Structure 1
Amino acid sequence: MAEPRRPPRGGGAGGEGLGRSRGGFTSKIHLSADGRCRPLSLVLTPGQRADFTQFKPVLEKIRVPRVGPGRPRKKPDSLAADRAYSNGPCREYLRRRGIRHTIPEKTDSRAARLRKGSRGGRLPGFDEDRYKKRNIVERTINRVKQSRVVATRYDKRGYVYLGTTTAAALVIWLRT
């Protein structure tokens, strides 16, 4: 009988998606969601990992099957994110893929842009009505964590916990 396939990251707490954060020794679930609070992609990281480092992996894992024949959709029509994703590489990635986005500008980057004057560039576009829908991701995380096993992380291995989280996401898809 073959052994279960393990992720290539190696052993240790980091390989299991565990790390120090304000809440203790925890994991972080990064996800994208559609307009009906259904998860589209999941990525698991140690608790101390910054959000913007997982921006590309989360967006690249999106696969929405089509009703008829054809390849699945890999690109959202638009995206709303919080200030953690307000940096040049994230905005450039979205521009390159042709994804409309609403991300508020950080106050320190705004001050730096204004300090540079005309060389500081243009103010990034911001649609307040679209940004109001950003709470969909927070509500999706709350729905995933309604499963007690996901909220408390009983699983020792990172890949098992990711499977548990994926099962909770599938339940959300089946209920809607």
Structure 2
Amino acid sequence: MGQRRPWEVDDGLWERITPLLPVVERRQRYPGRKRLEDRRVLNGILFVLYTGILWEFLPQELGYGSGSTCWRRLRDWHQTGVWQALHELLLAELRAADLLDFTRAAVDGSHLRAMKGGVKTGPSQVDRGRTGSKHHVIVEAHGIPLAATLTGGNRHDVTQLMPLVHAVPAVKGKRGRPRRRPDVLYADRGYDYDTYRRDVRGLGIRPVIARRGTEHGSGLGVHRWVVEAAFALLHWFRRLRIRWEIRDDLHEAFLTLGCAIICWRRLAAVQRRHS
């Protein structure tokens, strides 16, 4: 048996995804073509995420189905909340294994070009006004993404500070109340607005945000570098380096799925070391 391709779902991840997938009953009358197995289609979706290939060029010889089949399944599973549920499940497992650290978190945004326009795009201030979007991410102390959002390329990072904080799910995994808020939140000068500091404090979080007009070398980078590392991991998926989707929900599906895969890699790596 050949070696498993990096984008193909391993047994451990598949065991976690299977209960989350909606059950689709085959019609008794006029059943049509047999539905392609979910695991094979998911491999096709991940192939697109990893390689960035366009849907219409998905190689049929891989056995993952057509690009249109994978596209529809990505859309349907996103609409039923599969990717978000998977991300939350893996975050809970990480917390149960003491691999999440809520003592501090960091936020940042990253621009990407949007080749076909669409919802949540806009002229970028860092790409000569070309149409683009932004990924906004909040990570815990080790750089594990807790939540991610998508906006137009012309949106200021600070406008997503509170939406990001509110997007962090209630993470289970330990006895007692689920954990949702970090103790401290780090951000760079782009988030230097006192009104947002007050909003963050109102949630019981201590904001540590660099001040504009001060010299660099504040030392906050010691804590903020983890969010840059998270962007590097997310943009390692070629489909997240450039936005090809006109529909914002499909790109958000890839973004959430990418966060979940990063969580699974961290969890699986620790499990391998202890096995």
TM normalised by structure 1 equals: 0.75
Map of 1:173 onto structure 2 = 263
What code does the residue aligned with 1:145 have? Answer: H
Query: Aligned with 1:90: secondary structure?
Result: helix
Query: 2:186: which partner in 1?
Result: 80
Residue 136 of structure 2: SS of its match in structure 1? strand
Displacement over 3 Å in runs of 4+: 68-71, 128-131
Once residues 207 and 174 of structure 2 are traced to their aligned partners in structure 1, the CA distance between those partners, rounded to angstroms, is: 28
Do 1:40 and 1:64's aligned partners in 2 also have CA atoms closer than 8 Å?
no
The alpha carbon displacement at 1:73 in A equals 1.7
Secondary structure of 2:150's match?
A: strand
Provide the residue aligned with 2:209 in structure 1.
Answer: 103
User: Would you say the 8 A contact 2:144–2:263 is kept in 1?
Assistant: yes
Residue pair 2:148, 2:256 contacting (<8 A) in 1 also: yes
CA drift at 1:129: 5.2
Say which SS state the counterpart of residue 163 (structure 1) adopts. helix
CA distance in 2, matches of 1:30, 1:38: 14
> Which residue of structure 2 lines up, in the alignment, with residue 25 of structure 1?
131
User: Percent of pairs identical after alignment?
Assistant: 29
Residues 70 and 155 (structure 1 numbering): CA distance in 2 closer, same or farther, change over 3 Å? farther
Aligned-residue CA RMSD (Å): 2.2
Distance 1:64 1:142, change over 3 A: farther
Alignment size in residue pairs: 148
CA shift, 1:80, in A, is: 0.9
Find 1:54's aligned residue among 137, 160, 166.
160
Partner residue of 1:66 out of 150, 153, 172 = 172
Distance across 2 between alignment mates of 1:90 and 1:143: 28
1:158 aligns with one of 243, 248, 261: 248
After superposition, give the CA deviation of every residue in 1:73-100 in whole Å (9 maximum; x if it has no partner).
2211111100111111111112222212
Q: Could you say what secondary structure the match of 1:79 adopts?
A: strand
Equivalent pair of 2:210/2:220 in contact (CA under 8 Å)? no
Q: In the aligned structure 2, how far is the partner of 1:63 from the partner of 1:134?
A: 21
SS of the residue corresponding to residue 241 of structure 2 reads helix
1:143 corresponds to 2:233: yes
Tell me by how many angstroms 1:130 deviates.
5.1
* Counterparts of 1:171 and 1:55, CA distance in 2: 24
Verify the 8 A CA contact 1:30 1:44 in the aligned structure 2: yes
Q: Is the 8 A contact 1:102 1:131 kept in 2?
A: no
Structure 1 gap ranges (5+)? 6-12, 111-127
Aligned AA for 1:161? H
Who wins on radius of gyration, i.e. which is larger? Answer: 2
Once the two structures are superposed, what CA deviation does each residue of 1:120-148 show, in whole Å capped at 9, x if it has no partner? xxxxxxxx555421111111111111100
SS at match of 1:173: helix
Q: Are the equivalent residues in 2 in contact too, given 1:103–1:131 (CA < 8 A)?
A: no
Specify every segment of 5 or more residues in structure 2 that has no aligned partner in the other structure, as ranges.
Answer: 1-74, 80-116, 267-275
**Cα distance in structure 2, aligned partners of 1:63 and 1:155:** 26
Structure 2 distance, partners of 1:164, 1:66, is 24
Gap change, CA 1:70 and 1:156, over 3 Å in 2? farther
